[in-house]
Amino acid sequence: MANIEPQIKPNGLNQRQLIDLLYMIVYSIKGICAKMDADDIAGTTYEALCYTAIFNGHIEDSRGNSIINQVTAKEDRFFIVSPQGMSEGALNECLYQIFDMVETMTEQIDADDATTSTYEALIYTAIYLWIVENCKGSALGNGSVYYFRPGGTFNQDQLVDLLYAIVDSIETLTEKLDTDAKPAGTDYEALWYTATILMRIENSKGSVVGNTPTWAP
């Protein structure tokens, strides 16, 4: 029987689930970028500019799947997340890089004029309502809901709400890519949300986003 209960809740978040979700999110972003390059939305630089130039870490999930990329000029910000452990500094850096990848990708889609030029406004500005600061003091995000910073104390409710928002942004992005005239492909949501984000996340307001796991959580 499919498990329709949320795997991540404000009062229920363990490290294994968190690492698995971070892997799914980064893997999804990479896949969306590669598909936009293949569909030739306007050029073929999405994966290079929005993933390879930004993601600077190694994430291994609980089933042995891994994703790794190293940005040579940012070696001091390289992080490792694995079932063996994850520091708060690594989590903070991973969140910062997710913000950076999504903002860069949506800005580029707008610049390439994928029909409407509202991707950044709808997917990044309207959804990423937290601030994340990296170890170098650079900050990304919008609003003042909560401030994630190196050395700070992580509020679990805020972290779960942020994870919910990130997954929501992937669903919103892939739905919009499917319905807009560009790119030519129409299966972004099926491939990079429905088939990739295989967890359900419940936020502090009781809303649930994500998909049913295909394994026993």
Q: Could you read off the pLDDT of 26-45 as tens digits, one per residue?
A: 999 999 999 999 887 666 79
pLDDT score recorded for residue 116:
64
Query: Mean pLDDT, to the nearest integer, of 198-213?
Result: 95
Residue 5 lies in a domain: no
Q: Rounded to the nearest 5 degrees, what angle is found at the Cα of 134, between the Cα atoms of 130 and 139?
A: 50
Q: What percent of the chain has pLDDT over 90?
A: 76
- How far is residue 169 CA from its own chain's centroid? 8
pLDDT score recorded for residue 12:
77
pLDDT score recorded for residue 2:
47
Cβ pair 144, 154 in contact under 8 A = no
Classify residue 129 by burial, with Cβ atoms within 10 Å: 0-12, 13-18, 19+. middle
pLDDT band at 114 (very low <50, low <70, confident <90, very high): low
In 158-180, which positions are buried (b, 16+ CB within 10 angstroms) versus exposed (e)? bbbbbbbbbbbbbbbbbebbeeb
Residue 72 lies in a domain: yes
- How far is residue 156 CA from its own chain's centroid? 18
Residue 1 lies in a domain: no
Residue 6 lies in a domain: no
pLDDT score recorded for residue 215:
65
Helix (H) or strand (E) holding 170: helix 156-179
pLDDT band at 127 (very low <50, low <70, confident <90, very high): very high
CA quadruple 108, 113, 115, 116: dihedral sign: positive
Shortest CA distance to 159 belongs to which of 71, 209, 65, 88?
A: 88
> In angstroms, rounded to a whole number, what is the distance separating the alpha carbons of residues 52 and 139?
20
Shortest CA distance to 166 belongs to which of 66, 53, 22?
A: 22
Task: Name the E strands within 152-207.
Answer: 200-202
Residue 169 in this model has a pLDDT that exceeds 60? yes
Query: Mean pLDDT, to the nearest integer, of 158-187?
Result: 90
Shortest CA distance to 103 belongs to which of 73, 79, 76, 131?
A: 131
Residue 216 lies in a domain: no
Between the two ends of the chain, the Cα-to-Cα distance in Å is 12
> In angstroms, rounded to a whole number, what is the distance separating the alpha carbons of residues 92 and 58?
14
Task: Name the E strands within 41-128.
Answer: 57-60, 66-69, 79-81
Residue 215 lies in a domain: no
Place of tokens 């942004």: 169
Number of domains present in the structure of the chain: 1
Helix residue ranges per DSSP H, 40-135: 46, 88-111, 119
- Pick 109 or 68 by higher pLDDT: 68
Residue 10 lies in a domain: no
pLDDT score recorded for residue 182:
67
Cis peptide before 83 (omega within 30 of 0): no
Instruction: State which residues form the domain around 170.
Output: 15-210
Tell me what the pLDDT averaged over the chain comes to: 91
Residue 3 lies in a domain: no
